[in-house]
Amino acid sequence: KQEVTQIPAALSVPEGENLVLNCSFTDSAIYNLQWFRQDPGKGLTSLLLIQSSQREQTSGRLNASLDKSSGRSTLYIAASQPGDSATYLCAVKPGGTSYGKLTFGQGTILTVHP
Amino acid sequence: DTGVSQDPRHKITKRGQNVTFRCDPISEHNRLYWYRQTLGQGPEFLTYFQNEAQLEKSRLLSDRFSAERPKGSFSTLEIQRTEQGDSAMYLCASSRLAPIYNEQFFGPGTRLTVL
């Protein structure tokens, strides 16, 4: 059974810092990995999707990397801003097929203070 | 592209009542997923549709839960005889059928509170 773990559970940083969120998964046979952002009481916003054959994806100040063999992904946020405060979730889709449920981690609660 | 929509956004009900939620996926998306999220946890998979066919159901989906997707468009999730443990955020997501472009897009969720 796939298990996804996110470290740290919570992170508080001053504005302007670069930061890294970690995600690990137990079964390396994944199809892809997605990073999401969730604001309190809201749905999920997709940030980045990395296919299993890719090593990284970038969008603006966000960069996500994937090391499938070691079961790890990181989300790098450059020059953090108070508006980045949210819960960040990673999720993996099992390998072998393009459909299939996502298995989520518990999330990292990020607070960026001015 | 108006995104995934869900209705209602909030539902408060008394234990034992039946509730029904609706999800409208992005129009060209063939795949539709339901997830449940409790406080402080990541979402957990409930069920998945490809067009009108329900292809997978989680063990979390007890016999009090039923989901439908008539005509492969919107979907409904019904919970019968609600229990306090059903209180959660119910999230719907949709994606394309194509193997590469299968990113899941989520709706705003329906927050259920069972008193």
pLDDT in tens, A24-70: 999 998 889 999 999 998 899 999 999 888 999 999 999 999 999 99
A98·B98 Cβ contact <8 A: yes
A43·B109 Cβ contact <8 A: yes
Q: What is the pLDDT of residue A99?
A: 64
Question: Which residue of chain A comes nearest to B43, CA vs CA?
Answer: A104
Set of chain A residues whose Cβ sits within 8 Å of the Cβ of B105: 46
Q: What is the pLDDT of residue B12?
A: 98
Q: Average pLDDT, stretch A103-108?
A: 96
Q: What is the pLDDT of residue B99?
A: 62
Q: Average pLDDT, stretch A71-98?
A: 91
* CA–CA separation, A84 and A80 (whole Å): 7
Q: Judge whether B48 and A94 are in contact, CB under 8 Å.
A: no
The sign of the CA dihedral A89, A92, A93, A94 is negative
The overall average pLDDT reported for chain A is: 93
Q: Tell me, what amino acid is at A8?
A: P
Set of chain A residues whose Cβ sits within 8 Å of the Cβ of B6: 43
Question: Considering only CA atoms, which of A18, A10, A5, A12 is closest in space to residue A73?
Answer: A5
Q: Average pLDDT, stretch A77-106?
A: 89
**pLDDT tens by residue, B1-12:** 579 999 999 999
Q: Report CA-CA distances (Å) from B108 to A22, B7, B10, B40.
A: 25, 9, 10, 17
Question: For A99, which of B35, B44, B48 is closest by C-beta distance?
Answer: B48
Per DSSP (E only), the strands in chain A are 4-7, 10-14, 19-25, 30-38, 44-51, 56-59, 62-67, 72-77, 86-94, 103-104, 108-113
A101 in B contact zone (CB under 8 Å) = yes
Q: Judge whether B46 and B21 are in contact, CB under 8 Å.
A: no
Q: Which residues contact A16 (CB under 8 A, 6 or more apart)?
A: A79, A80
Cis peptide before A8, with omega less than 30 degrees from 0? yes
Set of chain A residues whose Cβ sits within 8 Å of the Cβ of B102: 32, 93, 98-99
Which residues of chain B fall below pLDDT 70? 1, 98-101
